[in-house]
Structure 1
């Protein structure tokens, strides 16, 4: 169950990064909507991370949380914001995913 919560916390990290980018691109009252989304997702992400670290090692939890956020944010950038995609970006993205999976399998 803790690994599921950790994954969800990582997804909320992606959401707050997405909201920051959308806030940067928006104008007027719409900006406040995106900042509100940022703060809500930040609160949820950190809250879940705190809960998870009560049962899982802090180093593993933080590394996986950050990795999920990084992978998700890169994918959001590629699919929603037309960021470039090339061989090396995909290669290192795959090594990051494999590292996250490796931490899951070697953790007790």
Structure 2
């Protein structure tokens, strides 16, 4: 259950990071409310996961899921670069996240 909460928390992290782009300095009401809501849900789910998982593992996986997801959304929605070195580095993050899950009991 902790891993599911952690993964969903990472997805909400992607949501609030992307949402920041649409708030335009928190001057747009709806995007701002959605972004703040995603922040709250993301941190709440991270806290739930940290009740069971080691803090360092939970935080690193949360950040990794958020980072990989944000890069993917940036490539998909905002035409950010998808060159091989960037994708290779994202692959390293994925390997690290999988490794942390594998070694955490």
Q: TM-score, normalised by structure 1?
A: 0.92
Unaligned 5+ residue runs, structure 2? none
Alpha-carbon distance between aligned partners in 2 of 1:60 and 1:20, rounded to the nearest angstrom: 26
Deviating beyond 2 angstroms after TM superposition, the runs of 4 or more aligned structure 1 residues are none
Count, aligned residues: 104
Rounded to whole Å, the distance in 1 between the matches of 2:103 and 2:82 is 31
Deviations 1:58-96 (A, max 9, x none): 000000000000000000100001111101000000111
State the alpha-carbon separation in 2 of the partners of residues 17 and 75 from structure 1: 12
What is the CA–CA distance in structure 1 between the aligned matches of 2:11 and 2:24, rounded to whole Å?
Answer: 20
Report the counterpart of residue 44 of structure 2 in structure 1: 47
For 1:13, the equivalent position in structure 2 comes to: 13
Q: Which residue of 2 aligns with 1:36?
A: 33
Shift, 1:24, TM fit: 2.7
Normalising by structure 2, we get a TM-score of 0.95
User: In structure 2, what is the equivalent of residue 72 of structure 1?
Assistant: 69
Q: Distance in 2 between matches of 1:90 and 1:68?
A: 14
Return the offset for 1:22. 1.8
Gaps of 5+ in 1: none
Residue 24 (structure 2) pairs with residue 24 (structure 1): yes
The residue number in structure 1 matching 2:59 is 62
